[in-house]
Amino acid sequence: MDEFDLIRRITPTETHQRSLVMGIGDDASVYQPHSHCEEVVCVDTMVEHVHFRFDFSTPFEIGFKALAVNVSDIAAMGGTPKYYLVSIAIPPHGDETVVSALYEGMKALADTYQMDLIGGDTVATHSDFIITVTVIGEVSKGKACYRHSAQTGDIVFVTGELGSSAAGLSLLMNELDSPKAVDTAFFLERHKKPQPHIAAGLICSSYSRVSLNDVSDGLASELNEIAEASHVTIEIDANKLPIHPDLPVLRKDWLEWVLFGGEDFVLTGTIPQADWDSFEMQCRKKDIQVKRIGQVKGDQAASVLLKDNEQQTMLMKKGYNHFKK
């Protein structure tokens, strides 16, 4: 496969964003940001056999997810994704069909949000695939949602079901005896092709103060990040955590998936109690499943507490960590 032929193949024939001045074709791309917005930029890297396996997912699904995890970060800031760049290291087993399918998967999600591919890099490697995606988005000035915004009395919420992606991964790894009555395809889809919650993030950014994270490394980890940044104690109720009805059928200790599984890519955060009713109504108008799961209790030691009936447990910042086994 020729590098320049690959670039020609992946170069878009048309663009969505009017702010794009020059796309792929020069040493760098040029775009004109809107004066009433602030730019939001994020980057993530996925490594074969660490973040994905071709015996678990198709190249199309892997490409889709590689972009989705970045778009989800834009959602967590309350922004709108506009552009993306892809740097890919291709090993000997990465033939033209595989590489093309990876880009097709990314394009499928990008078209949903009218995002434009504006650059990147292609190199050869002797080991495994490495895919690095950068996404550029915009958020209205002064409206970005930060982790440090939580205050005592705020309501803690999530914008969708938890634990489904971890269940899908366990199914792929043959760790479960899947009951015939369970729709396992749903859980596999949630793991392979996560859907970023852009619409929910935009609603969050319309309020004066919302702290926000996307659930990539697990609910416990994400809420601990908010608690640490805001110097508050967060308490959540185990009985209020939203899950798919079949999750307990797959595993009795399903709470482990919900709290520490990660890769659900729903949003979790806090909002002032006075704004909750309005926020909930706005979400329901957009068919967004938002659920109140707890409250910010105070500005003592930064921590996250799980209330499970009469018991209270401190949740450690445990979730997916690249440098821990």
Binding residues: 27, 44, 51, 73, 103, 120-121, 147, 214, 216-217, 263, 320
Show binding-site residues for substrate: 51, 263, 320
Task: Give the C-alpha separation, 307 to 317, whole Å.
Answer: 16
CA atoms within 13 A on the CB side of 232: 25
Q: Could you give the C-alpha distances from 275 to 7, 201, 288, in angstroms and in order?
A: 48, 15, 16
Task: Give the C-alpha separation, 61 to 64, whole Å.
Answer: 5
Task: List CB contacts of 210: < 8 A, sequence separation 6 or more.
Answer: 78, 145, 149, 204, 269, 270, 271
Show binding-site residues for Mg(2+): 27, 44, 73, 121, 214, 217
Task: Give the C-alpha separation, 165 to 169, whole Å.
Answer: 6
Which residues is 136 bridged to in the sheet?
41, 83
**Residue among 290, 293, 281, 283 nearest 154 (CA):** 293
Task: Give the C-alpha separation, 129 to 88, whole Å.
Answer: 7
Show binding-site residues for ATP: 103, 120-121, 147, 216
